[in-house]
Amino acid sequence: MSVLFSPWTVRSVTVRNRVVVSPMCQYSAVDGVPDEWHLVHLGSRAVGGAGLVLSEATAVEARGRISPGDTGIWNAEQVAAWRPVVEFIKGQGAVAGVQLAHAGRKASVYSPLVGQDGELAEADGRWTTVAPSAVRFAESYPLPQALAKAEIDELVATFAQAARNAVEAGFEVVEVHAAHGYLLHQFLSPLSNLRDDEYGGDLAGRLRFPVAVVEAVRAAVPDGVAVFVRISASDWVDGGLTVDDAVEISRAFAAAGADLIDVSTGGNVATAKIPVGPGYQVPFADAVRRKADVATGTVGLITDPRQAEAILADGSADLVLLGRELLRDPYWPLHAAAALGAEVTPPTQYARAF
Ligand SMILES: Cc1cc2nc3c(=O)[nH]c(=O)nc-3n(C[C@H](O)[C@H](O)[C@H](O)COP(=O)(O)O)c2cc1C
């Protein structure tokens, strides 16, 4: 019996298998509105058999976009454009999830599609970025403004409204992006949060805003909708977040209503040296799952069906997320099922091929 191809249930959500499409920016939206690209891109991975299809980092407000090409979910036009994407994913038997994001000090930069790095020129629509403290991510990035307390309260409400919008669009999983050096991670890490008010200082202070966001998102969605949180379990530099911090952070998010912690690492320090290799982030998901007693997802260089199966069988995670391997092969779940001797049903339109 394959664990990878067994269902998993949280709240009212049941995924047909444990393969998750990891959030991947496509930088292809205009004014935050997803289009045919997003339908075909995400839809193909649902056709390919994934259990859960997560959208790319989708901004909760315009200044929270990394680049002008990011998707958003702060207005009615965006919600209406997400709806057919979500319906298609669900029609293929997959669950549709959205990653709610705010890039903070990593916003207002060129997308990789443009072939230019760093801060947008004024002519290309540069905007003012915000962060816990007025510290750049890197030399080529914008200098952010430190958020005032009232603005932090507003942002909590902004995340909650985006979560309501996500439900209106039909999403059944809402993942709060608190990883990869974006706004919530900027608050969590002592390297980017230099505040001396109640939103900074010790870990309890640095958790205050991110926890308020998770609580507000949880309260904004119906009971049946699942809330995930993606964290970076290490900053990979001395003085940054460690796996022990990650366990504490995960406990706090679980208490705030997170159903699963999606455990990634890095992204907040441009110069960090990350020892990348197959499954290199699995030990972090394992530590969080065992010590914080919360369901986890794991991600990072998971490419082989037996590798994915072993991670779940070992109890290191409940779900595996695949990024680039699913770009190379949207039918990875169907191929993996065959390799593991599991039964899956391909789309009836494709039945003669499987
Ligand atoms: C093109 C691309 C875009 C990405 N965009 C996001 C994103 O929007 N949100 C996020 O949390 N991670 C993002 N990531 C990171 C992936 O979700 C994943 O964590 C990472 O690629 C490692 O997994 P992999 O080795 O299976 O690709 C992106 C990765 C790629 C390759």
**Strands (DSSP E) found in 216-291:** 226-232, 260-264
At residue 90, φ and ψ (nearest 5 deg) are -65, -35
As given in the structure block, the two tokens for residue 329 are: 């092969």
Ramachandran sector of residue 156 (left: φ over 0; alpha: ψ -120 to 50; beta: rest): alpha
Distance CA 289, CA 268 (A): 23
Distance CA 264, CA 99 (A): 14
The residue whose C-alpha atom lies closest to atom 12 belonging to ligand 1 is 23
Mutate to test the pocket of ligand 1, among 22, 27, 281, 319 (most ligand atoms within 8 A of CB): 22
Mutate to test the pocket of ligand 1, among 21, 25, 260 (most ligand atoms within 8 A of CB): 25
What amino acid positions are annotated as catalytic residues? 182
Q: Which domains, from first to last, does the chain contain?
A: 8-353 (3.20.20.70)
Q: Is the CB of 48 under 6 A from ligand 1?
A: no
State the distance from the centre of ligand 1 to the C-alpha of 353, rounded, in angstroms.
30
The residue whose C-alpha atom lies closest to atom 13 belonging to ligand 1 is 24
Q: Is the CB of 267 under 6 A from ligand 1?
A: no
The residue whose C-alpha atom lies closest to atom 11 belonging to ligand 1 is 23
Q: Is the CB of 99 under 6 A from ligand 1?
A: yes
Distance CA 288, CA 277 (A): 20
Residues 209-243: b if buried by 16+ CB within 10 A, e if exposed:
bbbbbbbbbbebbeeebbbbbbbbbbbbbeebbeb
| Amino acid 48: pLDDT | 97
State the distance from the centre of ligand 1 to the C-alpha of 23, rounded, in angstroms.
6
The residue whose C-alpha atom lies closest to atom 31 belonging to ligand 1 is 324
Q: Is the CB of 65 under 6 A from ligand 1?
A: no
The residue whose C-alpha atom lies closest to atom 15 belonging to ligand 1 is 24
Predicted TM-score (pTM) of the model is 0.98
Q: Mean pLDDT, 10 residues at a time, over the chain (354 residues)? A: 97 98 98 98 98 98 98 98 98 98 98 94 97 97 98 98 98 98 98 98 98 98 98 98 98 98 98 96 98 98 98 98 98 97 92 88
| Amino acid 354: pLDDT | 83
The residue whose C-alpha atom lies closest to atom 23 belonging to ligand 1 is 300
Q: Is the CB of 265 under 6 A from ligand 1?
A: no
State the distance from the centre of ligand 1 to the C-alpha of 352, rounded, in angstroms.
33
Amino acid present at 292: A
Q: What is the DSSP string of 88-113?
A: HHHHTTPEEEEEEE--GGG-SB--TT
DSSP state letter for 148 = P
Distance CA 22, CA 324 (A): 9
Q: What is the DSSP string of 39-99?
A: HHHHHHHHHTT-SEEEEEEEESSGGG-SSTT-EE-SSHHHHHHHHHHHHHHHHTTPEEEEE
| Amino acid 114: pLDDT | 92
Q: Is the CB of 325 under 6 A from ligand 1?
A: yes
